[in-house]
A and B are shown apart, each in its own frame.
Chain A
Amino acid sequence: MKARVTVTLKSGILDPQGKAIEGALKSLGVDGVASVRQGKVFDIELSGSDKAKAEAALKDAADKLLANTVIENYRVELL
C-alpha cells in the first residue's frame, strides 16, 4: 500500500524559505504568484492491506517524528 504524508507550516508561522522562493519566482517573471509556503512530502510504502491500521500507523509516524506539531500541520493520504 502506498501512502503520502504532507507536512506544512501552520498559518501564522513565519516561513522565510517560502518568502525567498516567492521572491525568486517573481524575479523569474512567473505570472500571478501571490505567495508561497513551502513544506515536505513523504512517500511511504506500507506492508499489509488494512486501511484503518495503515492510517493509524501513519498518524503515529507523523505525530512522533515526521511533523513538529508546535509549528506544523500534516495530512495523511492512502494512494
Chain B
Amino acid sequence: MKSAVLVFPGINRERDMARALKLASGNEAAMVWHAETALPKGTDLVVVPGGFSYGDYLRCGAIAARAPVMDAVRDFAAGGGLVLGVCNGFQILCEAGLLPGVLMRNARLKFICKDVHLRVERSDTPFTRGYNAGQVIRVPVAHGEGNYEADEETVKRLEGEGRVLYRYCSADGVVDESSNINGAAQSIAGIVSERGNVLGMMPHPENHVEDIMGCTDGRGLFAGLVAHLEKAA
C-alpha cells in the first residue's frame, strides 16, 4: 500500500499517521506538502491527518480545504481512489465538499480528549473490513469541533445508504445519548462518501496501533485497507 499523507501548516498528527501506515503496510508513507499540485505516482491511499490546520482560523479545515493539493485529492477521489480523513482531516474533507455535512462545536462546548468506544456498523467496506460488523473498538478522540451535523435529508440518506461506518457507543456497544460525546447527529463518528471511497472520522485509530499505546484496536482499520488493496491488485 502506497500512502500519501497531506501536510498543512498547523497539522500535528501526520507523523503518528505515517507510523501507523508503515506498521500496517511495511511501506514508508509519502509526506505531501499542501502547496503540491499532484500526488506521488502510484498512490493507493491519501490520508488527511489531524491537527489544527491554519490554527482553525475561520472554520476548522476551511482554509486547508482550499489548498492547491486538494484539487489533486478531488481528482484522485473522483477516480475512485481511497481517501481517509481523521479529525481535522474529516473537517477538511467536509469543507472541501468531498463529504456532506459539517463538524460543529461540541454540544457541551468542551474540548474532549479521551478514549471512546466506537461501534463498527458494517465490515464490507475497505475502511472496516479489518473488523466484524457490530464490533466495539476503543480509540482516542481529541477535538473541540466534532459534532457532526447535516440537514435532515442528508442524515436520512447517510443512514439509508449504510454510509455511517463508525458510531459513538458505550463499552458494550449501546448507542445512546450518554455515549454520544459531542452531540453528533445519530452519534455519527465516521461516514463514507456516496461511492464509498472517502472516509471521514473524528477519532484517531492511528493512536491505538501498538502495545505501548495500551490498546491496538485501531490496527483493524489499517490492516483492512492493506487487505483491500492487496485483493484489488
* Residues of A near any B CB (own CB < 8 A): 13-14, 16-17, 20, 64-66, 68, 70-71
The answer, yes or no, to whether B175 is at the interface (CB within 8 Å) is no
Q: Are B151 and A68 in contact (CB under 8 A)?
A: no
Interchain CA distance A1-B95 in the complex, whole Å: 30
* Residues of B near any A CB (own CB < 8 A): 58-59, 62-63, 66, 95, 100-102, 104-109, 149-151, 183
Interchain CA distance A16-B95 in the complex, whole Å: 20
A76 CB to closest chain B CB (Å) equals: 17
Q: Are B104 and A14 in contact (CB under 8 A)?
A: yes
- Please name all residues of chain A whose beta carbon is closer than 8 Å to the beta carbon of B151 when the two chains form the complex: 70
Q: Are A71 and B102 in contact (CB under 8 A)?
A: yes
Interchain CA distance A66-B62 in the complex, whole Å: 9
- Please name all residues of chain A whose beta carbon is closer than 8 Å to the beta carbon of B150 when the two chains form the complex: 70
- Please name all residues of chain A whose beta carbon is closer than 8 Å to the beta carbon of B95 when the two chains form the complex: 68
B110 CB to closest chain A CB (Å) equals: 10
- Please name all residues of chain A whose beta carbon is closer than 8 Å to the beta carbon of B104 when the two chains form the complex: 13-14, 16, 71
Number of A-B residue pairs, CB cutoff 8 Å, is 33
B143 CB to closest chain A CB (Å) equals: 14
Partner of B109, one of A13, A16, A64: A16
Interface of A is mostly: helix
Q: Determine the residue in chain B with the shortest Cβ distance to A70.
A: B102
Q: Are A68 and B62 in contact (CB under 8 A)?
A: yes
Q: Are A16 and B107 in contact (CB under 8 A)?
A: yes
Given known contacts A13-B104, A17-B109, A20-B109, what 9 new A-B pairs fall within 8 Å (CB)? Answer: A13-B149, A16-B106, A16-B107, A65-B63, A65-B66, A68-B62, A70-B150, A70-B151, A71-B104
Interchain CA distance A71-B105 in the complex, whole Å: 12
Q: Are B109 and A70 in contact (CB under 8 A)?
A: no
Identify the 4 closest CB pairs spanning chains A and B, nearest first.
A70-B102, A16-B109, A71-B102, A16-B105
- Please name all residues of chain A whose beta carbon is closer than 8 Å to the beta carbon of B105 when the two chains form the complex: 16-17
A41 CB to closest chain B CB (Å) equals: 13
Interchain CA distance A68-B108 in the complex, whole Å: 22
- Please name all residues of chain A whose beta carbon is closer than 8 Å to the beta carbon of B63 when the two chains form the complex: 65
A11 CB to closest chain B CB (Å) equals: 13
Interchain CA distance A71-B62 in the complex, whole Å: 13
Partner of A70, one of B101, B107, B108: B101
Given contacts A14-B107, A16-B109, A71-B149, contact A64 B66 (CB under 8 A): yes
A8 CB to closest chain B CB (Å) equals: 14
Interchain CA distance A13-B58 in the complex, whole Å: 18
- Please name all residues of chain B whose beta carbon is closer than 8 Å to the beta carbon of A14 when the two chains form the complex: 104, 107, 149, 183
12 contacts between A and B (CB under 8 A): A14-B107, A16-B104, A16-B105, A16-B106, A64-B66, A65-B58, A65-B62, A65-B66, A68-B95, A68-B102, A70-B102, A71-B104
Q: Determine the residue in chain A with the shortest Cβ distance to B61.
A: A68
Interchain CA distance A14-B184 in the complex, whole Å: 11
- Please name all residues of chain A whose beta carbon is closer than 8 Å to the beta carbon of B58 when the two chains form the complex: 65-66
